[in-house]
């Protein structure tokens, strides 16, 4: 079990993180969500042992992790950390990059490399030099590389930021299925709410250096606590002091709530309608495009 107890940290006198605490077990996926600069990346670096903390502790299986002031080489041997500027050697092949983390004495070395490339959908690039890959392909190779030694804990900072949606959806399913299969604890700092809602066991939302809320994806989404939290998952309306998602508002033939259409945004299977209600902007979903300045009635479900 990973235990993060009352961590506080600042690069200056101002704290970036304040009294951060959570627990996670092997095989869990914890998504850390928050606006840029809220301390998500810093939290991963503290857990891995790249930053020294004066306040708080990090434990793994009841053993206190001492951090860079006590370890000659920063970073815990049973963990792997993938920062946003992934570390690859450009002038050697994909196989050689991943193989650097696997012993040459391992008779299953090539099989292991091929297995990992299958997970990240890069099996056809075994002999390709990294310098000839796109940004998204490099990121996928970097993910395979940090998995090579099969860590107990995997820390990922925006792991799909360079990957196009066509590849991203399949990669997420493949990667998180693999991590569950191998019982690897994964902590991900992300802006991508699909990562969090669809795959996480727990979501931690950070605001102003503190944990704003933590819980299951269903709990966080259905009871978001604040507009800040809800805004990570969808547009949000505040009506009568209640937080209402666009999908909770429907156009109806008649009601006492009448709005004026401002714009219709095509979302594929539906339109997101921006409208004015008593001088306030609200958003709701509708199957068809609505005309600008059209007055329609809505109902909150």
Total domains present in the chain: 2
Tokens of 12: 């200056």
Predicted local distance difference test score (pLDDT) of residue 73: 80
Same domain, 198 and 263: no
Which of residues 175, 210, 227 is at a domain's end?
227
C-alpha of 65 from chain center: 24
Q: Are 233 and 224 in contact (CB under 8 A)?
A: yes
First to last CA, the chain: 41
Same domain, 103 and 252: no
pLDDT tens sequence across 29-88: 999 999 988 999 999 999 999 999 999 999 999 899 988 888 778 788 899 999 988 789
Same domain, 135 and 272: no
Return the DSSP state at 42: H
Predicted local distance difference test score (pLDDT) of residue 67: 84
The CATH number assigned to the domain holding 222 equals 3.40.50.300
* Calpha distance 83→149 (Å, rounded): 17
Same domain, 45 and 100: yes
Alpha helices in the chain (DSSP H): 40-48, 94-99, 109-119, 135-147, 165-181, 193-199, 217-222, 227-230
Which of 89, 126, 130, 87 is CA-nearest to residue 110?
A: 126
Predicted local distance difference test score (pLDDT) of residue 273: 97
Same domain, 220 and 245: no
Predicted local distance difference test score (pLDDT) of residue 195: 76
Predicted local distance difference test score (pLDDT) of residue 86: 77
Q: Which segments of the chain have a pLDDT < 70?
A: none
The count of residues in the chain is 301
Same domain, 160 and 269: no
3-state DSSP call for residue 198? helix
Predicted local distance difference test score (pLDDT) of residue 75: 84
* Calpha distance 296→284 (Å, rounded): 12
Same domain, 121 and 153: yes
Residue numbers of the domain that contains 113: 2-227
The CATH number assigned to the domain holding 290 equals 2.40.50.140
Predicted local distance difference test score (pLDDT) of residue 249: 95
Which of residues 227, 254, 275 is at a domain's end?
227
Which of residues 227, 252, 270 is at a domain's end?
227
CB atoms within 10 A of CB 180: 15
- Cα 155–Cα 227–Cα 250 angle in degrees, nearest 5: 115
Same domain, 139 and 42: yes
Angle between helices 165-181 and 109-119 (to 10 degrees): 130
Same domain, 280 and 175: no
Same domain, 67 and 216: yes
Helix (H) or strand (E) holding 160: none
Same domain, 243 and 213: no
Helix (H) or strand (E) holding 205: strand 202-207
Tokens of 128: 């390709």
Which of 100, 120, 123 is CA-nearest to residue 111?
A: 123
Is residue 85 classed exposed, middle or buried when 0-12, 13-18 and 19+ CB atoms within 10 A define those classes? Answer: exposed
Q: Are 17 and 56 in contact (CB under 8 A)?
A: no
Phi and psi at 234, nearest 5°, equal -175, 170
Same domain, 90 and 143: yes
């Amino acid at each position: 079990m990973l235990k993060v107890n009352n961590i506080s940290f600042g690069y200056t006198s101002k704290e970036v993180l304040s009294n951060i605490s959570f627990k996670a077990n092997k095989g869990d996926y914890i998504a850390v969500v928050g606006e840029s600069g809220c301390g998500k990346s810093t939290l991963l670096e503290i857990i891995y042992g790249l930053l020294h903390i004066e306040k708080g502790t990090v434990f793994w299986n009841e053993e206190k992790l001492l951090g860079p002031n006590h370890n000659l080489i920063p970073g815990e041997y049973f963990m792997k950390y993938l920062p946003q500027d992934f570390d690859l050697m450009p002038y050697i092949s994909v196989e050689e990059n991943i193989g650097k983390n696997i012993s040459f004495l391992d008779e299953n070395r090539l099989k292991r490399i091929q297995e990992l490339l299958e997970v990240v959908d890069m099996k056809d690039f075994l002999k390709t030099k990294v310098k000839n890959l796109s940004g998204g392909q490099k990121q996928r190779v970097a993910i395979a590389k940090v998995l090579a030694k099969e860590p107990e804990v995997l820390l990922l900072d925006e792991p799909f930021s360079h990957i196009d949606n066509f590849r991203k959806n399949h990669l997420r399913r493949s990667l998180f299925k693999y991590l569950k299969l191998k019982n690897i604890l994964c902590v991900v700092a992300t802006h991508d709410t699909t990562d969090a809602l669809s795959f996480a066991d727990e979501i931690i939302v950070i605001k102003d250096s503190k944990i704003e809320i933590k819980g299951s994806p269903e709990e966080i989404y259905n009871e978001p606590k604040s507009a800040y939290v809800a805004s990570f998952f969808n547009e949000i309306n505040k009506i009568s002091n209640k937080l209402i998602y666009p999908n909770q508002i429907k156009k109806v033939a008649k009601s006492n709530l009448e709005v004026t259409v401002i714009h219709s945004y095509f979302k594929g299977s539906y339109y997101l309608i921006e409208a004015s209600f008593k001088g306030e902007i609200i958003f709701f979903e509708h199957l068809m495009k609505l005309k600008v300045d059209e007055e329609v009635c809505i109902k909150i479900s």
